[in-house]
């Protein structure tokens, strides 16, 4: 089968012909119904060798859903043909974090040497994906795999970020969402679905701000020199109880720190690598700055429930596997609305 693989660090991935994997004991072969193109893949292509101890080559694509194609020996509880979401962070499955379903924070991640399919192991930009354990698959029910694929990252990651801030996001509060791309457009919907907070979306691109409005933002603010003042005004001078930064560049973290309230949180999800001089006085009293990663299996269950209830829906642009290089080019140029999903079959 054809697979879109990272072959060399700091080079674009390449199409390579690889054998269709055969599931061994405990493993499951999934026919990929959708593989989302995440901005993290662009970072992955740019990071110098040694940033992560991943062995090359591997197939990219860490945001996947599809159908069970074949079960390895000993696998029970799944039916061939069943639609599934693939939980993306693949931990050891046995440590304390993994037993809590938080494989994103597996205690043995360093030992494992890969973070999951598409992040050190073969991912979903191919016709089939080998998943190391049935525990990493969640039933989709009647959700369509190509719309469900983004739920496993573009929705799960912001869901985790929202959930950690839930106690702050009481009625009367405000939450700023910076960057309304794949993750941000889901963040807005998740906030709308699980809180009564005032949602203020920030982006550089007017088209992204339009999408933000369409999916439920109360206010939209261009990401410019006036953004902080505008947000202050919109929040009656109080600022935001939480800022979810889906960019993570110096100006966005700075913006977050300048509009967060005392005891609020600036949750930096974006991996742009911006720095912030955190010190006494740099942020209001008791405000926190955090860098969460992905989400837990239980949180993915909750995300799938939100989607099945029709409360969140990924805005998907569909592409073929052959389009993958073009998809990433467009993502780099900011020309994808919502999420681009590659449908290999
Ligand atoms: P995306 O390209 O789909 O969206 C990024 C959005 O940010 C775009 O709408 C863009 O216009 C906007 N933007 C860029 N610079 C901006 C600025 N200065 N101010 C305001 N808006 C700006 O990206 P995505 O796939 O949604 O990913 C977002 C970020 O989150 C990436 O850095 C990605 O690597 C990261 N990420 C982190 C995790 C995690 O677990 N921490 C998980 C997934 C993705
Ligand atoms: Zn991602
Ligand atoms: Zn573990």
Question: How would residue 345 be classed by pLDDT, with cut points 50, 70 and 90?
Answer: confident
C-beta 246 within 6 A of ligand 1: yes
C-beta 152 within 6 A of ligand 1: no
Task: Identify the sign of the CA torsion 235, 239, 245, 251.
Answer: positive
pTM (two decimals): 0.98
Sheet strands side by side (includes 260-268): 219-222, 198-203, 174-178, 240-245, 260-268, 288-290
C-beta 90 within 6 A of ligand 1: no
Token pair of 171, please?
A: 């009625």
For the chain, the domains span: 2-153+295-343, 156-290
Query: What pLDDT digit, counting tens, does each position of 188-225 carry?
Result: 999 999 999 999 999 999 999 999 999 999 999 999 99
CA distance 89 to 202: 28
Bridge partner residues of 49 (DSSP): none
Query: What pLDDT digit, counting tens, does each position of 273-331 carry?
Result: 999 999 999 999 999 999 999 999 999 999 999 999 999 999 999 999 999 999 999 99
Length of the chain: 345
Residues with CB in 5 Å of ion ligand 2:
38, 40, 153
If you average pLDDT over residues 243-262, what whole number do you get? 98
Give yes or no for a contact between 28 and 9, defined as CB atoms under 8 angstroms apart: no
CA dihedral 225, 228, 231, 235 (to 10 degrees): -160
What is the DSSP-derived secondary structure letter of residue 135?
A: G
Is the CATH number of domain 156-290 3.40.50.720? yes
Report the chain's terminal Cα–Cα distance, integer Å: 11
CA 134 from centre of chain: 21
Q: 26: exposed, middle or buried (C-beta count within 10 Å: 0-12, 13-18, 19+)?
A: middle
Strand, coil or helix: 97: helix
What CATH number matches the domain at 2-153+295-343, 3.90.180.10, 3.30.2270.10, 3.40.50.2000, 3.40.430.10?
3.90.180.10
C-beta 334 within 6 A of ligand 1: yes
Ligand nearest to the CA of 107: 3
């Amino acid at each position: 089968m054809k697979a879109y693989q990272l072959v060399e660090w700091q080079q674009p991935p390449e199409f390579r012909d690889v054998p269709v994997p055969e599931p061994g004991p405990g493993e499951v072969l999934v026919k990929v119904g959708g593989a989302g193109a995440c901005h993290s893949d662009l970072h992955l292509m740019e990071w110098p060798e040694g940033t992560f101890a991943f062995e090359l080559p591997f197939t990219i694509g860490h945001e996947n859903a599809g159908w069970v194609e074949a079960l390895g020996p000993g696998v029970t509880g799944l039916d061939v043909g069943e639609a599934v979401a693939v939980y993306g962070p693949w931990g050891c499955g046995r440590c304390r974090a993994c037993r809590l379903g938080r494989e994103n924070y597996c205690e043995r991640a360093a030992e494992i040497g890969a973070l999951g399919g598409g992040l050190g192991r073969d991912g979903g930009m191919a016709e089939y994906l080998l998943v190391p354990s049935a525990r990493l698959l969640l039933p989709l029910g009647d959700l369509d795999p190509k719309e469900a694929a983004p739920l496993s990252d573009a929705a799960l990651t912001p869901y985790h970020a929202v959930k950690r801030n839930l106690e702050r996001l009481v009625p009367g509060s405000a939450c700023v969402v910076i960057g309304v791309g794949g993750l941000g457009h889901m963040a807005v919907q998740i906030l709308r679905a699980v809180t009564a907070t005032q949602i203020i979306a920030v982006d550089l691109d007017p088209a992204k701000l339009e999408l933000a409005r369409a999916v439920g933002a109360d206010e939209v603010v261009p990401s410019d020199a006036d953004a902080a003042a505008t947000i202050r005004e919109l929040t009656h001078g109080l600022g935001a109880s939480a800022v979810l930064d889906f960019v993570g560049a110096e100006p966005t973290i700075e913006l977050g720190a300048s509009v967060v309230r005392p005891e609020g949180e600036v949750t930096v999800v974006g991996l742009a690598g911006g720095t912030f001089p955190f010190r006494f006085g740099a942020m209001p009293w008791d405000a926190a700055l955090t860098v969460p990663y992905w989400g837990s299996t239980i949180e993915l269950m909750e995300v799938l429930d939100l989607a099945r209830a029709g409360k969140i829906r990924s805005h998907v642009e569909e592409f073929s596997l052959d389009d993958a290089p073009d998809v990433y080019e467009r993502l780099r140029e900011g020309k994808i609305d919502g999420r681009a999903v590659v449908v290999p079959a």
